[in-house]
Structures are given as C-alpha cells and as structure tokens.
C-alpha cells in the first residue's frame, strides 16, 4: 500500500526508535515532538512490539488516533503502512 500523501522529495524521514522495559502494571509514555515549528508531520507507519497484557493507545496533538487496544497498530517486524491516509500532527504524538 503506498503512503498517502506521497512523501515530497525534500521531506526528511522521521525515525527515532525507543525502547522501554516494564514490569507488570507499569506504564510508559513516549512523546515525539517536531523540532521544526509550524511544520506538518505525516505518520504513515507506527510500529510497536506486541507484548501480551499491554494496552496500546496513540495520541497526536491531544486526540486519540488509535486504541486503546490489546494489539499495536503494526509490529516492528511487519512495517506496513498503518494509516492511509497518513495521520498528520503539528505539536506531538505519544
């Protein structure tokens, strides 16, 4: 499945992996914030490892875009397009 919208040749890829190991009952919030103010960022793929007993929720600019769900949008071994059209955000996604 192609990205929607297609990336512009001048676009800069955004790929910043994050790892957290949690004990039962612990929670982690990972926030990605654009470094270029006023820019619109597109999120076509969001991959997270699938772990039993985990609840996944994705928010961008304060709105829930995915979940809460017992499975992630896509697994890191899959890396297929998750959102078509791509989700857009300006301030943060977490």
Q: Count Cβ atoms below 10 Å from residue 41 Cβ, excluding itself.
A: 21
Q: What integer best gives the mean pLDDT of the chain?
A: 79
Q: SS3 of 51, please?
A: coil
Q: What percent of the chain lies above the pLDDT cut of 70?
A: 85
d(CA 13, CA 22): 28
pLDDT of 2: 58
Contact partners, residue 72, CB within 8 Å, separation at least 6: 46, 47, 48, 49, 50, 54, 56
Most confident of 1-10, 37-46, 61-70, 80-89: 61-70
pLDDT of 87: 80
**Could you give the maximum distance between any two Cα atoms of the chain, in Å?**
44
Q: Where residue 36 falls among pLDDT bands split at 50, 70, 90? A: low
* DSSP H or E segment with residue 61: none
């Amino acid at each position: 499945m192609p990205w929607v919208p297609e990336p512009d040749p001048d676009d800069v890829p955004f790929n910043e992996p994050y790892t957290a190991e949690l004990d039962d009952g612990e929670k982690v919030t990972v926030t990605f914030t654009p470094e270029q103010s006023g820019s619109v960022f597109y999120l076509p793929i969001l991959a997270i490892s699938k772990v039993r007993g985990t609840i996944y929720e994705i928010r961008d600019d304060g709105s829930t875009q995915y979940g809460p769900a017992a499975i992630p949008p896509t697994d890191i071994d899959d890396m297929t397009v998750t959102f078509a059209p791509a989700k857009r955000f300006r301030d943060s996604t977490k």
